[in-house]
Amino acid sequence: MKNFKAIHQFTPSVDAGDSVSNGVLFTQKLLHDLGYISNIYNCDKAVSTSFKKEIFHISQYEQSEQNLLLYHHSIGHVCHSNIMNFKDKKVLIYHNITPSHFFINEKHLQVACDEGREQLKNSADSFVASIGDSDYNSKELKAYNYKDPLTLPLLLDLNLQNSVIPNDKITKKYKDSYNIIFVGRVVQNKCQHQLIDTLQELKLLGEKNIKLFIVGGVSQPDYFNFLHEYASNLGLTSDVVLTNKVSDEDLAAYYSCADLYLSLSEHEGFGIPLIEAMKYDVPVLTYDAGGIASTVTPNSLMDKKSPRYVAKKILQLKNDEDFKSKLLQEQNQHLKTFSYENMKTRLSDFLSTLKQA
């Protein structure tokens, strides 16, 4: 028997390809599968056309003590105080807030991150329960007096990847090179320039025919331009591919032709592309930052990220078939943690612990 008449979700904004947005859509699918009425609400009136049939503005929300509202938080926004006063029981789902010092040159992002952290810090009493999508995020919730947060990564429907057909032009173009991929927003805290440093180090060590794909939308245009100039100054223009935002078919192609997923990011609350890479059977190497440790297996983690150190780790993976095989086996086992059925069962178990008003 269901505890609530409906379980709706709120997220400040929704955008195609955005990790939080994908997680909200995935959670809605799970809730529908569990038999709940569930709509998605946001406070952005300019929702992209691909979501107009699925997203409602928060002004349309009908409060009810018989409902549960899942409130997704990752940045500050103007709707927060109003929603905290809703009569619905509320559960916080925390996706992490990037520390604002990473946006010292983007004041609007710096302000939004600081505001989001203040809202998080001051709102524990407004929620009946909380979820962090990594142990790292749950630890932060505990520090802000959220009681017994559950770690539950309601982020990614792995089944969807099976339905996307990779762009054949991309896979054919890069079928003969050794391809290193990183997927994520072009922003300084993700340290894409250090990926270029690693590529240069591999070249200095005698490696040839290697490509680096930096795939993702641009959050900091100045940094995007810097990456172009940086690669050019190092003589790597033909070896570094900066794609900007791509279609699902193109993204599937880049994953399909990748020989390695490499991340040197300084801050990740979870790191969804790492899971996507595992789904495509791509070995992962990543700097151990933020919530990454609960996203990947131990053999993927690196505690240093100097170009020489990372390059040697890559060469070990490239040349040692036993090491590569072991890593891929570990990744395939780890993926079961994020399966649809497992997420559905864990969400159902969590909801059963909550009681209707």
pLDDT digits (tens, 9 = 90+) for 33-71: 999 999 999 998 666 555 556 889 999 999 999 999 999
Percent of the chain with pLDDT over 70: 96
Q: Is residue 226 part of a domain?
A: yes
Asked if residue 129 belongs to a domain, the reply is: yes
Tell me the torsion sign for CA atoms 346, 280, 296, 142. negative
Instruction: Tell me: do 128 and 266 sit in the same domain.
Output: no
- The CA–CA distances, whole Å, from 279 to 218, 252, 257 equal 25, 11, 13
**Which residues make Cβ contacts (< 8 Å) with residue 131, sequence separation at least 6?**
91, 92, 93, 94, 138, 149, 150, 151, 152, 154, 350
My answer on whether 231 and 111 are in the same domain is no
The verdict on 146 and 172 lying in the same domain is no
Across the range 273-287, mean pLDDT stands at 96
Q: Examine the domain organization and report whether 54 and 146 are in the same domain.
A: yes
Are 25 and 146 in the same domain? yes
- 147 shares its domain with 175: no
Domain match, 170 and 223 both: yes
15 and 35 inside one domain: yes
At 102 the pLDDT is: 85
Rounded mean pLDDT of 180-195? 96
Record the tokens describing residue 16, joined without a space.
């195609």
Across the range 210-230, mean pLDDT stands at 95
Residue 133's domain is classified under what CATH number? 3.40.50.2000
262 and 346 part of one domain: no
pLDDT at 17: 72
Distance of CA 256 to CAs 118, 158, 277, Å? 41, 15, 9
Model confidence pLDDT, tens digit, residues 319-354: 999 999 999 999 999 999 999 999 999 999 999 999
Per-residue pLDDT tens over the stretch 97-139: 988 888 888 888 899 999 999 999 999 999 999 999 999 999 9
The predicted structure's pLDDT at residue 47: 62
In terms of domains, do 30 and 118 share one? yes
Residues 236 and 202 sit within 8 Å (Cβ to Cβ): no
Q: Is 254 helix (H, G, I), strand (E, B) or coil?
A: helix
What is the overall mean pLDDT for the chain? Answer: 92
How many structural domains compose the chain?
Answer: 2
The pTM (predicted TM-score) of the whole model is: 0.89
Express the helix, strand and coil content of the chain in percent, nearest 5 each. 45, 15, 35
Give pLDDT tens digits for 156-177: 888 876 778 999 999 999 999 9
Q: Is the dihedral of CA 132, 327, 239, 171 positive or negative?
A: negative
Q: What is the mean pLDDT of residues 214-221?
A: 92
Residue 111's domain comprises 6-155+338-352
Residue 156's φ and ψ, nearest 5 degrees, are -145, 125
pLDDT of residue 1: 45
* 325 domain residue, yes or no: no
Task: Note whether residue 58 is domain-resident.
Answer: yes
pLDDT at 3: 78
User: Do the beta carbons of residue 63 and residue 83 sit within 8 Å?
Assistant: no
Q: What is the pLDDT of residues 65-94, one digit of tens each?
A: 999 999 999 999 999 999 999 999 999 999
Is residue 330 assigned to a domain?
no
